[in-house]
Amino acid sequence: MQRLATVNCSGPNLLHITFDDGHVSQYDQAFSALQELSMKATFFVTAGWTGKRPGYMTWEQLAELARCGHEVQSHGWSHTLLTRCSVKELQIELSRSKSDLEDHLGAKVNAISLPGGRWNTRVLEACRESGYEQVFTSDPWMVSEDVMGLQIAGRWMVTRNMNAQRIHFLLEGKGATLYLLRARHFAKETAKLVFGDSAYRSLWRMLANKDKSQEDARIASDSARRPQA
């Protein structure tokens, strides 16, 4: 968090911190760190889990986030992959989560982070019809674009294995880090299409738990490419 606070991001590279799912660790750990550094974030929560599923935030905790200037937006009702939903299921996932969040928190909900990052034209149409204006995906692209009347934004996933230096390289858009994440994304999308969800989950676990020595080698490679002050 301290490294993020020192990064100079403006214009199309404006830094936007997001959290998905609504796990209680985001309240217990990330919230205090954000407050200490005077940083704001958007918390995309699975509304149907709020106050009901162990390990996830309560409505009172979400309300505190909102009072402190953080955004609380939708991550669907039950974290179901929206590309698998029927028309009726899509309506529940999108509209019910939106209305529940608005009713409990008293603030407009106009953005959604798509569960699993899965989307297609039908999902985007349903998002627009449900009143969303922004859709956040898991696609690793910095620049947002307008699609079907919606603002579609990609994101970079920060994992537990990333140290502060690598995050800094990522935000600068330099070095091997950028290409690695895009290569991962391409591999995952290919696995989804060719092998289905089971292979995708296996690939994701493999990539998310890569060997630390490879991580250190990439950091060293990025450092070697940077001009010395």
Half-sphere exposure of 1 (CA within 13 A, CB side): 15
Quick one: pLDDT at residue 44?
98
Phi/psi for 118 (5° steps) reads -85, 135
CB 176 within 8 A of CB 222: yes
CB 48 within 8 A of CB 97: yes
Quick one: pLDDT at residue 139?
81
Burial class (CB in 10 A: 0-12, 13-18, 19+), 13: middle
Mean per-residue pLDDT pooled into runs of 10, the chain (229 residues): 56 74 96 93 97 97 97 97 94 96 97 93 96 91 81 83 73 66 67 63 62 43 41
Quick one: pLDDT at residue 72?
98
Quick one: pLDDT at residue 207?
62
Residue-wise burial string across 69-108, b where 16 or more C-beta atoms lie within 10 A, e elsewhere: ebbbbbbbbbbbbbeebeeeebebbbbbbbebbbebbeee
Distance of CA 100 to the CA centre of its chain: 21
Quick one: pLDDT at residue 142?
59
Residue ranges of domains in the chain: 2-153, 164-225
Quick one: pLDDT at residue 79?
95
Nearest-angstrom CA–CA distance, 82 and 153: 17
Quick one: pLDDT at residue 178?
67
- What CATH superfamily is the domain 2-153? Glycoside hydrolase/deacetylase (3.20.20.370)
Burial class (CB in 10 A: 0-12, 13-18, 19+), 196: exposed
Quick one: pLDDT at residue 117?
87
Quick one: pLDDT at residue 168?
73
